Amino acid sequence: MFEGRKAVVQLHIVIVGAGIGGLSAAYCLVQAGHRITVVERAKELKEIGAGIQLTPNSTRLLMRWGLGRKLEEIAGSDRCEATLIFRYTGNLLL
């Protein structure tokens, strides 16, 4: 899964935020040999009802971590089927 180099000096790193970016950074840094503490303001991690759009770089990283099959199971599609743009009022713009 991890193909990077191991750290010569082990650091204790504090990551603020247990969102996608924070947890991804924590995972990579642990794999490199560092000690990680993740702090999060929310009392629990849960869905908030928002969708997630993954860029090609994010997708490649998940594949490298061995999560490709799981990603295929839960991702709606690997192609954009429609793009809708709404005004701040909620009316459809495009």
Going from the C-alpha of 90 to that of each of 2, 82, 85, 87, the distances in angstroms are 44, 17, 9, 5
Mean pLDDT of 12-40: 95
pTM exceeds 0.85, yes or no: no
Given a contact cutoff of 8 angstroms between Cβ atoms, the answer to whether 24 and 30 are in contact is no
Mean pLDDT across the chain: 86
For residue range 48-89, list pLDDT tens digits in order: 777 777 888 888 888 889 988 888 888 766 666 778 888 888
Is the pLDDT assigned to residue 2 strictly greater than 60? no
